[in-house]
Amino acid sequence: MTDDVESVAPIDFVIIEFPAGQQNFSGEVIDELLALVDAGIIRLVDAIVLVKDEDGSVEAVELSELEGPSALATLAEQLADFLAEADIATLSEAMEPGSVAGAIVYENLWAAPFAAAARRAGGRLIADGRIHSQDIADALEAEAELEAAEEQEEQGV
């Protein structure tokens, strides 16, 4: 995280699950993550790969244990051990048996200057939230289906 409390940015986490046999934490996924870090948009705080067996048992694999680009190894050395065993157990509850997931904790560096300016001006955060991209996609799809149904109704179909 940033060293100056005044400029601490919001910290978020995401968990990306891949079905058994389809997991790919190299290639495009890692390239895009590294691009966000390199651009200064985020700072990776912690990252871990969770493997959930068919029987429901979970194994946590550190990023440093994965094979990948040398930039990934360098990044892994800089990570904090932010996620505790209890966090891992909680995060893995949503996973399907037989799946693999990447849990990523990151600081939103892009927001730090704005947050610091708001604090200096006497502002304080009173609420925040997130609308998941899948929820937006589902809402847009439902709206398109409704519009199509209304159009068919108008045409007497």
Provide the domain count of the chain.
1
Between residues 36 and 9, the one the model is more confident about: 36
Give 128: exposed, middle or buried? Use CB within 10 Å, 0-12, 13-18, 19+: exposed
Residue-wise pLDDT for 56-114, tens only, equals 999 988 877 776 666 666 777 777 777 778 888 888 888 999 999 988 899 999 998 99
Q: What H or E segment, with its residue span, contains residue 120?
A: helix 112-120
pLDDT greater than 50 at residue 2: no
Nearest to 105 by CA among 147, 39, 26, 44: 44
Let me know if residue 48 belongs to a domain: yes
Let me know if residue 140 belongs to a domain: no
98: Cβ–Cβ under 8 A, 6 or more apart, which residues? 19, 20, 52, 53, 54
Between residues 64 and 41, the one the model is more confident about: 41
pLDDT greater than 60 at residue 129: yes
Q: Could you tell me whether strands 58-62 and 43-52 are parallel, antiparallel, or unpaired per DSSP bridges?
A: antiparallel
Let me know if residue 28 belongs to a domain: yes
User: Long-range contacts of range 126-131, CB-CB < 8 Å, 24 or more positions apart?
Assistant: 128/10, 130/12
Containing domain of residue 81, as a range?
A: 5-124
Let me know if residue 75 belongs to a domain: yes
Write down the residue that tokens 């440093």 correspond to. Answer: 64
The pLDDT score that the predictor gives to residue 1 is 46
pTM of the model: 0.74
The pLDDT score that the predictor gives to residue 109 is 94
The pLDDT score that the predictor gives to residue 68 is 63
Let me know if residue 153 belongs to a domain: no
Q: From the centroid of its chain, how far is CA 2? A: 19
Q: Average pLDDT, stretch 127-133?
A: 83
Let me know if residue 25 belongs to a domain: yes
Let me know if residue 147 belongs to a domain: no
The pLDDT score that the predictor gives to residue 65 is 76
pLDDT greater than 90 at residue 143: yes
Let me know if residue 76 belongs to a domain: yes
